[in-house]
Amino acid sequence: MSTKPSVLFVCVHNAGRSQMAQGFLTHLAGDAIEVRSAGSAPGDALNPAAVEAMAEVGIDITSQAPKILTPDAVETSTVVITMGCGDACPYFPGVDYRDWKLEDPAGKGVEAVRPIRDEIRTRIEKLVAELIPA
């Protein structure tokens, strides 16, 4: 079993917030943290405004696709960060659950998604500092 921390980002559609968070954490932490995302009711495709907002900061998330949340993904995570999925997340003892209250970018243009992206980046930078002590 790996000793490196594992972070799972969860939102309903796994098309916007959780994908941006996964993109930032992968970009900032590299191989030091295992990063995954999933949704309780995954969408058909990534939110185009989220893809565009991330591209503006040099992060390409187009290789990702919405994925279904599985109990195994939760159980094997060090930290599970929910972004509005509420009761859809299964609970396992020993997993660190956190809820990030973030505006849902669904149906919004890139102008509205940028502040959400920037808030996610700020939270990810704090998470990296916590999980990978300098």
Residues with a known catalytic role: 11, 85, 89
How many Cβ atoms sit within 10 Å of the Cβ of residue 129?
11
Average confidence (pLDDT) over 92-114: 93
Higher model confidence: residue 56 or residue 85?
A: 56
Give the number of C-alpha atoms closer than 13 A to the C-alpha of residue 43, restricted to the C-beta side: 20
What is residue 85's predicted lDDT score, i.e. its pLDDT?
63
Instruction: Say what percent of the chain tops pLDDT 70.
Output: 94
Mean pLDDT (whole number) for 89-103: 88
- How far is 129 from 76, CA to CA, in rounded Å? 21
What's the whole-number mean pLDDT along residues 16-44? 95
